[in-house]
Amino acid sequence: MKYKSKKYDNYIYGLRAVIEAVNADRDLNKIMIQKGMQKELFLELKNALKRKDYPLQFVPQIKLDTLTEENHQGVIAIASPIEYKKFELLVDNWLEEGKKPCFLLLDRVTDVRNLGAIARSALCQNVDAIVLPSRGSAMVTSDAIKTSAGALNSLPVCKVDHLKEALFYLQQSGVKLVACTEKAKKKVYESDLTGAIGILLGSEEDGISNELLRMTDDQVKIPMYGPISSLNVSVSAGMILYERTRQNLFS
């Protein structure tokens, strides 16, 4: 497998190397494919990608040329620095063990630094796993790991095809779903955050989608004063997770 340099150890380039990574079911954050890639090469890659669900991005050749001086053959994959965990397997195993897990689900959080900061708070507040949608969301990168102070190396992270299905799975498993949103009427300390729980946080731009909000069992907001109506998502995560810790300490 070929790499440009140690700095880019998560870049896999060259048709054969990328196909081998795909066939081995490597955790890949993204595959970048050159627009107008030679037909024969593209068909070989397309066949390898059948029944796979890797995020694909079609880019001009100059984009790939800036990432490596080597012969990328029109394709570069970005490998995840961590191994994503199987969501359903974690849910089933923990509930069978009698554990009362806490899942932190992130709806379209796109800033890797926010993801890292959230993970750092999550590990400190005894969250069991973070759940991310495979598309439209920041993935775990070296920058995210750095911002998390290494928390992403210890905290299980699950990547799911659809967050809606993950919420439904938790609900059917008896896990309470709570959304943290400024649209809520109830304050965060007025909700029971103990027990098995899934806490849902939304994107930096427009919060939690209405479709996902309707699925939750409870909706809470963090009380605020002053002219600014919302908090950074990583700050919100730390505050609601601390409230959960406080309730567990005194329950």
* pLDDT tens digit sequence for 179-217: 999 999 999 999 999 999 999 999 988 999 999 999 999
Q: Are both 131 and 223 inside the same structural domain? A: yes
Q: Are both 190 and 233 inside the same structural domain? A: yes
Boundary-marking domain end, from 25, 53, 79: 79
Average confidence score pLDDT of the chain: 93
Q: Is the pLDDT of residue 61 over 80?
A: yes
Q: Which residues does 76 contact at the CB level (< 8 Å), separation at least 6?
A: 11, 12, 13, 18, 31, 32, 64, 67, 68
Exposed, middle or buried: residue 84 (CB in 10 Å: 0-12, 13-18, 19+)?
middle
* pLDDT tens digit sequence for 101-157: 999 999 999 999 999 999 999 999 999 999 999 989 999 999 999 999 999 999 999
Position 1 in a domain:
no
d(CA 223, CA 189): 10
Which CATH number belongs to the domain containing residue 62 in this structure? Answer: 3.30.1330.30
Q: Are both 151 and 104 inside the same structural domain? A: yes
Q: Are both 74 and 91 inside the same structural domain? A: no
d(CA 240, CA 243): 5
> Domain span at residue 231?
87-250
Against a cut of 0.75, is the pTM above it? yes
d(CA 192, CA 178): 9
Boundary-marking domain end, from 29, 48, 79: 79
Question: Average pLDDT of 15-20?
Answer: 94
Boundary-marking domain end, from 33, 57, 79: 79
Question: Average pLDDT of 76-84?
Answer: 95
Q: Is the pLDDT of residue 59 over 80?
A: yes
Q: Are both 14 and 94 inside the same structural domain? A: no
Which CATH number belongs to the domain containing residue 194 in this structure? Answer: 3.40.1280.10
Position 94 in a domain:
yes
